[in-house]
Amino acid sequence: SYTVVSGDTLYGISRKTGASLTTLYNENGLSSASIIYPGQVLNVGGQASTPTPAPVETKPAPSTPVVESVSAG
């Protein structure tokens, strides 16, 4: 759940919690015309109040072939 504070918007709450706007609307019986109030508790669909960042996949750098030139002499 998330408790609305002064200045919050549904979009901002969506960004803070990781819940989609659609989830916020559906879980709380809201629409794009709804007004939210400080102190109001919203269900964020089971999302954590602080979203966990997705793991970043790291790939090794491609091998660069070593080219050596040999001079006669």
Residue range 57-68: mean pLDDT, rounded = 62
Residue range 40-57: mean pLDDT, rounded = 64
Structure-derived torsion over alpha carbons of residues 5, 7, 8, 9, reported in degrees to the nearest 10: 150
Supply the pTM of this predicted model: 0.59
- At 18-46, the pLDDT tens digits run 999 999 999 999 988 899 999 999 999 86
